[in-house]
Amino acid sequence: MSLLVTGLNHHTSSITVREKLAFRADTIPSAVFELRKRLENGGVVILSTCNRVEVYVHHGVLDTDTLFERVCEFLADWHKLAPDDFKSSLYTYTNLEAVGHLFRVAGSLDSMVLGEAQILGQVHEAYLTSQAEQAADKVIHQLFQKAFGIAKSVRSETEIGAGNVSVSSVAVDLAASIFEDLSNKTVMIIGSGQMSELTLKSLVSRGVRHVVVVNRNTERAQAMAEPYGGEALPFDRLEEYLHRGDIIISSTAAPRFILHPEQFQRALKQRGQEPMFVIDIAVPRDVEPGVGELDNVYLYNMDDLEQVVGENLETRRQEAARGMGIVQRGVEQFEQWMRGVVAEPTITSIAEEFHRIRQEELAKTLAALPDLTEKQRQEVAYLTERVVKRMLQSPMTQIKHEIGHHDPHTVLHLVRRLFGLKES
Amino acid sequence: MGWTVGLTALGALCLAAVLGLRWAVYHRVPLTTPADSINLMVLCCTLIMIPMERKENLRPLICFYLHPLALLCVLTAVLAHPDLHSEPRELRSSMLALHVGMVFVAYALFFMASMTSLAYIFKARHLKHHNTTGIFHRLPSLEQLDGTLYRLTRVGYPLFGATLILGLVWTHTDRALLGPHWYLAPKVLLAIVMAVFFSMAFHGRRTGLLRGPKLANFIFVGFSLFLAVYVAMALLHLREYNFWGNAP
């Protein structure tokens, strides 16, 4: 029984190589079908995302080297490439290493952005495609189910997904830690710029509905406000309207500060001291630092936002180490399950052998006792069945126990010799 | 958190059982000793806390309530356990029992408001200093903390006010017990100061004069002082109404 994963990702290859081997989403079902046909059996899952292309294969007969060669041939044929074009970029994990790799991938411990949530959905999608193509055999099924469980544990038991790692998302997160409901808050954009628009988009996607754009150029302000159903205001009326902004994003090209503590003090008074979140992404800065010292004003400039991004990334890195511990436990549990699967044919053979003997001996006995009634015959049959079951109970438990603690092949070899079974 | 609340609910049941048993054994409402009072207050806090646990975004606040409550229970068990073997003083009328009971419900609300203030101060300070790691992410938003604080004060303050009025009415029915200068007793003065204090907090928040970190600091520091004075009064036996002498 062999399990193999081979593929490439952002760590091992450039996008030039990755895009050559990537599968279009609509071609994955036929690719899965084709590979399984070539392997004549087993389980196949193809995971193709923007950062990785991986093929997971399980086979009951072929060894991992043969599986690797078959997968490479398939990839070369499917993408019309020579195997040497990509073979050197591939990484390969076999058996328990492959299990660990999948658990790391699903738990987002191998992602470009540690802890990103998208990968679990992509792994799930890949598994469902395989299942729909009837290419998810027993081992693949168990492997992926376990991977989903591990991924959930990594996410819930660690802080791997805590805190965003892009400046615009961090700004939205901070807004959400000040305001409970963003839908009734007003975002005021002062000036224009790519980053302020990006942050505005993120805020709108989180429910913000009221947008006010203040710009020296009224036409530009209107153009920016229009897509969000917002309001455009002339720059010279900024102070008059400042109190309306719950979230203020400033990114003008002004050479000196345009917003001062006194203006905010007046604005706070007008809005009954309700908190204000000020994001100053202009360089040079638009908002005087003293504004951040006022009660109920939370001021973040570009450096502050990047500092939060850095802290979140560091937290994720630290949490990844804890996540690895969960993966390791999962691999051990899966190994136990795999050992049970390896033992299954032997256990089935022993049970079949005992039942064959039971049937033979029962037939002989019943033939020697022709006067028995039907009920008595049934009782005797039932008696032999119970005797066999009870006799098998202890050896079966011991076999499972020994397989869990010693090399399964050695244990099974001995068991098969002990019970006089043919080697599988 | 499920386990935490389960265990807390179990603790509350035990406290309720202690109070119930004392009531059954002595045939008196057990509200007069410091241990009984604190037990009742902790019980009230727990009863308010359990529905809060059902709101996912408020759930992390419970850790701000549970720790001091647990500490309070331990301190009560260590310092005031002889109270639990003594007979509670008789509360002469059901109005008085209601008065004392309501006081402790109001205290529970104020206690929770002060712990919510602490959470607010913690979150606002972290946000101000751009430190957004650790428990910061788990705490409710400032707006929600402020709303919770306001709701607790909005219920606690009128309840406390009503309790004081109920107490005033009762004093007319039992002047002999309280002595001629009952209104100058430390306990009564503390209650009046407390009512004024929470009135300021409530109206300050309503009008926007006290809001955000200022309100949170005001409530937290204020309540901590009241608690310290209350404990000192209990230890110095200054909790009698007839502090300035008995009625002639």
For residue A307, the 8-state DSSP code is: H
- Give the separation between CA B132 and CA B123, rounded to whole angstroms: 9
Q: What is the pTM of this model?
A: 0.71
Show residues of chain A in contact with B212, CB under 8 Å: 273, 275, 295-296
Q: Crossing angle of helices A64-79/A28-39, nearest 10°?
A: 140
Angle at alpha carbon of residue A189, lines to A183 and A312, rounded to 5°: 70
Measure CB to CB from residue B143 to each of A173, A174, A179 and give the nearest one: A179
Min CA distance, B108 vs chain A (Å)?
A: 26
Is a pLDDT exceeding 60 seen at residue B197?
yes
Residue-level pLDDT at A190: 94
Q: Do B213 and A296 touch (CB under 8 A)?
A: yes
Question: Do residues A132 and A270 make contact, with C-beta atoms less than 8 angstroms apart?
Answer: no
**Single-letter amino acid, residue A183:** S
- Give the separation between CA B36 and CA B88, rounded to whole angstroms: 9
How would residue A192 be classed by pLDDT, with cut points 50, 70 and 90? confident
Residue-level pLDDT at B168: 82
The helix (H) or strand (E) run that includes residue A4 is: strand A2-9
Min CA distance, B137 vs chain A (Å)?
A: 7
Q: What percent of chain B has pLDDT over 70?
A: 90
| Partner B contacted by A298 (CB < 8 A) | yes
B interface residues, A as partner, C-beta within 8 Å? 57, 123, 127-128, 130-133, 136-137, 139-144, 147, 207-209, 211-214
Of A164, A233, A171, nearest in space to A200 by CA: A171
Q: Do B143 and A308 touch (CB under 8 A)?
A: no
Residue-level pLDDT at A420: 84
Interface test with A, best of B1, B131, B141 (most A CBs within 10 A): B141
Show residues of chain B in contact with A178, CB under 8 Å: 127, 141-143
- Give the separation between CA B12 and CA B42, rounded to whole angstroms: 8
- Give the separation between CA A370 and CA B121, rounded to whole angstroms: 92
* Boundaries of every domain in chain B: 1-90, 91-248
Helix (H, G, I), strand (E, B) or coil at B243: coil
Can you list the positions of beta strands (E) in A13-170?
Answer: 43-48, 52-59, 91-94
State the residue for tokens 């039907």. Answer: A374
Of B3, B22, B13, B2, nearest in space to B89 by CA: B22
A72 annotated active-site: no
For residue A287, the 8-state DSSP code is: B
Mean of the pLDDT values across residues B200-228?
A: 92
Residue-level pLDDT at B179: 66
Measure CB to CB from residue A298 to each of B127, B140, B147 and give the nearest one: B127
- Give the separation between CA A159 and CA A317, rounded to whole angstroms: 10
Structure tokens at B76: 């009560």
Residue A10 neighbours by CB distance under 10 Å? 15
- Indicate the average pLDDT of chain A: 91
Helix (H, G, I), strand (E, B) or coil at B92: coil
Helix (H, G, I), strand (E, B) or coil at A213: strand
Among chain B residues, CA nearest to A175: B141
Q: CB-based burial of residue A247 (10 Å sphere; 0-12 exposed, 13-18 middle, 19+ buried)?
A: buried
Sheet arrangement for strand A91-94: A43-48, A52-59, A2-9, A91-94
Residue A121 neighbours by CB distance under 10 Å? 10
Residue B73, C-beta contacts closer than 8 angstroms, at least 6 positions apart: B11, B38, B42
Q: Do A315 and B142 touch (CB under 8 A)?
A: no
Is a pLDDT exceeding 90 seen at residue A383?
yes
Helix (H, G, I), strand (E, B) or coil at B28: coil
Min CA distance, A103 vs chain B (Å)?
A: 26
Taken in order of first residue, the domains within chain A and their CATH numbers are: 2-157 (3.30.460.30), 167-310 (3.40.50.720), 342-418 (no CATH)
Mean of the pLDDT values across residues A159-179?
A: 87
Residue-level pLDDT at B1: 53
Q: Read off the pLDDT of residues A248-290 as tens digits, 9 standing for 90 and up.
A: 999 888 889 999 999 999 999 999 999 999 999 888 899 999 9
Is a pLDDT exceeding 60 seen at residue A127?
yes
Residue A25, by phi and psi: left (phi above 0), alpha (psi -120 to 50) or beta? alpha
How would residue B239 be classed by pLDDT, with cut points 50, 70 and 90? low
Question: Do residues A180 and A201 make contact, with C-beta atoms less than 8 angstroms apart?
Answer: no
Residue scoring higher pLDDT (A249 or A343): A249
**Omega before residue A284 within 30° of 0, cis:** yes
Mean of the pLDDT values across residues A155-163?
A: 86
CB pairs under 8 A between A and B: 63
DSSP string, A226-263: GGGT-EEEEGGGHHHHGGG-SEEEEE---SS--B-HHH
Is a pLDDT exceeding 80 seen at residue A422?
no
